[in-house]
Structure 1
Amino acid sequence: MSDDDHLPAGSLSSEYRQEWERARERMRIEVGDQKYETWFSALELLRREGSLLYLTMPTKFLRNWMNQHYLELIRARIAAEFKGVDKVIIEVRTPNPKTKAAQAAAPGLRSAAPSFKPMPSLALATAGEAVGETALAYQRRVCSPKIGTRTEADGFVGSPLDRRLTFATFKVGKSNDFAFAAARRAAEQCAQGAAPLFNPLYVHASVGLGKTHLLQAMARQVGDGRRRVLYLTAERFMSNFGNALRDQTAYALKEDLRSIDMLVVDDLQFLQGKTLRAEFSHLVNALIDSGRQIVVAADRPPAQLESLDERASSRFKGGLCVEIGPLDEELRQQVLETRIAAAKEQHDAFVVPRDVVVYVAKIITSNGRDLDGAVSRLLAHSSLNGAPICVSTAEQAIRDLVNTHEPKRVKIDDIQKLVASHYNVSRADIVSSRRTANVVLPRQVAMYLSKALTPRSLPEIGRRFGGRDHTTVIHAVRKIENLIAKDNGLAQVVELLKRMLNEQ
């Protein structure tokens, strides 16, 4: 065993760092970009002791999750890259003592919440539109300084934009041509300083069909026209508005927001909390009444969106509501050809025959993200195996993407078990009549998730929680909504639990 075998990750030899990066890339290819970014991106290399490799995760809960669901996969990928390593142990990461000391010495560092600052221009680099990147290369790049953001001292300016997502790179077909035309016209009007033609513009579609692409293309064009535009995800809106309410800076924040020319909000279905919903509704009304453009995207029509109050829902119904339908086979082929051409610019030897493109477009019918995943898998097979790609190879490479996207059926039993595990109580405690503080919050969180993630009625949810009345469930749901609006930590926990339940 070499001297490097007991060094912390930051001091590992270049050989070990390269092995670790190769192992991580293998994991990414195995699970796909989305799952990798959700679970594996927080996994870090700690040290090696002979045939034993130590990894870390930031929390005990995440450590237990990885051990339960992905330990065998991790061990196999580590063994393939680290010679002589046959066992992996995941520990909980210990905070850096210097960081803790700095936080203790300066307890007021978080006292001032960042405000929303509209951008005179998005100031996005136009050279090398990044359309030549593969999905994997983009994921690596996007972890570096974000596009469209500024330093903390300059204030909060919204969620990052992807340089690739422009109107020029959007593939138009029968399923999205109307939405594309409406988005482009609205962006042109705003960029020219004209009064909004469609206001608000509401775009809805299932996951991976191009909502985010259209919204970011609009934000980019308006910003390039020197107009003030703010692109936000619902999560970013909740986080920053929640902090402003907590720190009593909400008035200044709302004044900042009302000075913009276009507000673009993505994934509105994730907006939670009675107070935040009300504030969002007030903001929408104020901006529309002052002639500012509002653009919103969600996964369902406004009438089906529980995250909207009646006033906001009425506003969106009164604007232009457009739907992006499933990609037809011809459009899926166009998307594949574009992704393959972009990958080929980075990897000259990557060649996908026409019959393979036709096969993949025919077999993968779910969404554009799965088409990205298919190209990544084909690229991996081509570069790692060095063999020509044929239909047989493609069939093997993408088999995990076929028929894997049926609607997730989350069970109340699964919710109760996961919540109990997270809060270190038993499932029996959650359904019992106990009312101690360490049981009441997990029970209310579990009821809230049952209402949000299952089709069960309120009386049925009450019965599954120890025969409680439906009014108890309503109280629990409202209680958690209010807490989420005030407590960003709880909001993050609830969102993490949702993702875990949908991954099981």
Structure 2
Amino acid sequence: MSKANTQKALNGDAYSRADELVKFCTVLRAELGDAIYSSWFTRLELDRIADGCAYLSVPTKFLKSWICAHYYEKLRAIAVAQLPGVSEICLSVRSASFSVVAAETEPATEARAAPRGPAPVAAAPREVSGAGVETSALDTRMTFASFLVSKSNQLAFSAAQEISRSSSIYNPLYIHAGVGLGKTHLVQAIAQAATAAGRNALYLTAEKFMYSFVSALKSQNSLSFKDSLRGIDLLIVDDVQFLQGKAVQQEFCHTINALIDNGRQVVIACDRVPNDLENLDERIRSRLAGGLCVEIHPLDEELRLRIVEARIAATQIVQPSFEVAPSVVSMVASMIRTNGRDLDGAVNRLLAHTTLVGSVLTVEQAENAIRDLIRHREAKRIKIEDIQKLVATHFNVSRADILSSRRTANVVKPRQIAMYLAKILTPRSLPEIGRRFGGRDHTTVLHAVRKIDALVAKDGALKRELELLKQLLED
């Protein structure tokens, strides 16, 4: 083919792709509405269609994560209906190369509990078992030594340390936490400690797992892909909530089953409990729930204080003149209760203001500097459904269990706690609460409230647990 004809073919392909994207986006806008489409999809691009898969891309990792979490199935359904020959979609962050490889080199999905050095340090991805499956990039600062431990994360930390040394009865280990609480730091620490001990460990994000599997299918190398994963000692999969696609999920399920059945260790990190992963196949949820599920709880004030102090110490390595008064450190730790990422932002703002002002900030000046990070708490209207969902997640049961007539101990106590919180945190009457809990009588609710009141009076651990739940509901 001549150069002119080649260019003409490429132009024709581009025009065809543009036409298909216009058709696709027109239907998408019609189904989602102008407001949602304008917020999330105006920068969506169709890169190519190959082997029955439509490769879509967006410019940022945040945009990709949000779309995957909230609109993946809708995108897939429209693509299958509107794009000829398409049976699957793959959403990536636009970069110099196909899919999410570039995004994977920035492992900043969690706030780190380690002091940050002058510059990021990432371990180079390495191929595992010679079959083209590469570990996602590891940040060498994310180690057990740099992970700050408190009551909120002690159990997860201890389990992670044990598993990094050898496979255990905790298989799979399932670590779940909200954004910025350190779960990525912890699972990367497992990967690095296990590798240092000579074990064949593989750390993958869910995105990298999907990308590797799709690439193996395209290159007709799926058997090598399967063999490489089944030959490792330790598989760690991060952000599993983003695992999408029926074929990908089936392979993921087969992989973890094969590893566990052969005595190999599996570690999963996610932002919610297995039963709440509605986009995952029920068999996967059941398998994940069958191991040890541990939660990293919100940062307590003591841990927030230590994180701020560690961030300041790390900053002083490169900016020796940076000084923060103890009263300012305490104020930051008490005012910012969200996550480590916001604490990072606070230290950065203090550094900027100190540099500009040229003196140590007062508490008032510091509070003004971090004003955008402080979420002013207005009286929040708490819904009974929110209480039921949070309590179910906290106690690793389903909301359906709480509403059911089951009388087993692992369901009765969460149900009574949820009723108790509904009584003290909402204006609903006892009969109304009873109706919202599966049509129960008001006397059942009253019994639950009195029962929890009595337990709180003599059980300090339960009292602290209820305070945590109330804080989560009110935040």
Q: Please, what TM-score do these two structures have when normalized by structure 1?
A: 0.51
> 1:180 maps to what in 2?
157
In the TM superposition, what whole-angstrom CA distance separates every residue of 1:460-485 from its partner, at most 9, and x where no partner exists? xxxxxxxxxxxxxxxxxxxxxxxxxx
- What amino acid does structure 1 have at the position aligned with 2:124? G
Equivalences for 1:398-437 in 2 at 5 Å?
Answer: 398-403=370-375
- Structure 2 Cα separation of the partners of residues 180 and 173 of structure 1: 9
> 2:417 maps to what in 1?
none
What stretches of structure 1 move > 3 A for 4+ residues in a row? 59-63, 130-134, 150-156
Note closer, same or farther for the CA distance 1:214–1:354 as it changes in structure 2 (3 Å cut).
same
Alignment partner of 1:284 is 2:256:
yes
> 2:300 maps to what in 1?
328
Q: Tell me the CA shift for residue 404 of structure 1.
A: 8.2
Given that 1:266 and 1:296 are in contact with CA atoms closer than 8 Å, whether structure 2 keeps it comes out as yes
> 2:172 maps to what in 1?
200
> 1:168 maps to what in 2?
145
- What amino acid does structure 2 have at the position aligned with 1:189? S
> 2:368 is matched with which residue: 360, 375, 396?
396
- Structure 1 Cα separation of the partners of residues 189 and 115 of structure 2: 17
> 1:263 maps to what in 2?
235
- Structure 1 Cα separation of the partners of residues 58 and 261 of structure 2: 46
Alignment partner of 1:251 is 2:227:
no
Given that 2:153 and 2:296 are in contact with CA atoms closer than 8 Å, whether structure 1 keeps it comes out as yes
- What amino acid does structure 2 have at the position aligned with 1:157? E
Name stretches of at least 5 consecutive residues in structure 1 with no aligned partner.
1-58, 64-109, 115-129, 191-195, 407-504
- Structure 1 Cα separation of the partners of residues 178 and 276 of structure 2: 13
> 1:95 maps to what in 2?
none
RMSD: 3.0
Name stretches of at least 5 consecutive residues in structure 2 with no aligned partner.
1-55, 61-96, 102-112, 379-475
In the TM superposition, what whole-angstrom CA distance separates every residue of 1:44-96 from its partner, at most 9, and x where no partner exists? xxxxxxxxxxxxxxx99869xxxxxxxxxxxxxxxxxxxxxxxxxxxxxxxxx
Q: Tell me the CA shift for residue 197 of structure 1.
A: 2.4
Q: Tell me the CA shift for residue 337 of structure 1.
A: 0.8
Task: Classify the secondary structure of the residue corresponding to 1:294.
Answer: strand
Task: Classify the secondary structure of the residue corresponding to 2:202.
Answer: strand
In the TM superposition, what whole-angstrom CA distance separates every residue of 1:117-165 from its partner, at most 9, and x where no partner exists? xxxxxxxxxxxxx96645xx43xx45xxx41324999944211111111
Task: Classify the secondary structure of the residue corresponding to 1:377.
Answer: helix
Alignment partner of 1:380 is 2:352:
yes
- Structure 2 Cα separation of the partners of residues 167 and 307 of structure 1: 32
Note closer, same or farther for the CA distance 1:151–1:297 as it changes in structure 2 (3 Å cut).
closer
Given that 2:133 and 2:228 are in contact with CA atoms closer than 8 Å, whether structure 1 keeps it comes out as no
> 2:245 is matched with which residue: 268, 273, 295?
273
Given that 1:186 and 1:197 are in contact with CA atoms closer than 8 Å, whether structure 2 keeps it comes out as no
- Structure 2 Cα separation of the partners of residues 133 and 209 of structure 1: 16
> 2:280 maps to what in 1?
308
| % identical equivalent positions | 51
In the TM superposition, what whole-angstrom CA distance separates every residue of 1:184-211 from its partner, at most 9, and x where no partner exists? 1111224xxxxx2210000001000010
Alignment partner of 1:189 is 2:161:
no
Equivalences for 1:19-418 in 2 at 5 Å?
Answer: 133-134=116-117, 137-138=118-119, 141=120, 146-150=122-126, 155-190=132-167, 196-403=168-375
- What amino acid does structure 2 have at the position aligned with 1:359? M
In the TM superposition, what whole-angstrom CA distance separates every residue of 1:325-361 from its partner, at most 9, and x where no partner exists? 1001111001111111111111110111110111001
In the TM superposition, what whole-angstrom CA distance separates every residue of 1:304-342 from its partner, at most 9, and x where no partner exists? 012321222111111000011100111100111111111
- Structure 2 Cα separation of the partners of residues 252 and 156 of structure 1: 9
Task: Classify the secondary structure of the residue corresponding to 1:218.
Answer: helix
Note closer, same or farther for the CA distance 1:274–1:199 as it changes in structure 2 (3 Å cut).
same
Q: Please, what TM-score do these two structures have when normalized by structure 2?
A: 0.54
Note closer, same or farther for the CA distance 1:209–1:305 as it changes in structure 2 (3 Å cut).
same
- Structure 2 Cα separation of the partners of residues 173 and 392 of structure 1: 29
Given that 2:173 and 2:266 are in contact with CA atoms closer than 8 Å, whether structure 1 keeps it comes out as yes
Given that 1:219 and 1:229 are in contact with CA atoms closer than 8 Å, whether structure 2 keeps it comes out as yes
Q: Tell me the CA shift for residue 391 of structure 1.
A: 1.1
Note closer, same or farther for the CA distance 1:247–1:60 as it changes in structure 2 (3 Å cut).
closer
Given that 1:189 and 1:197 are in contact with CA atoms closer than 8 Å, whether structure 2 keeps it comes out as no
- Structure 2 Cα separation of the partners of residues 60 and 179 of structure 1: 35
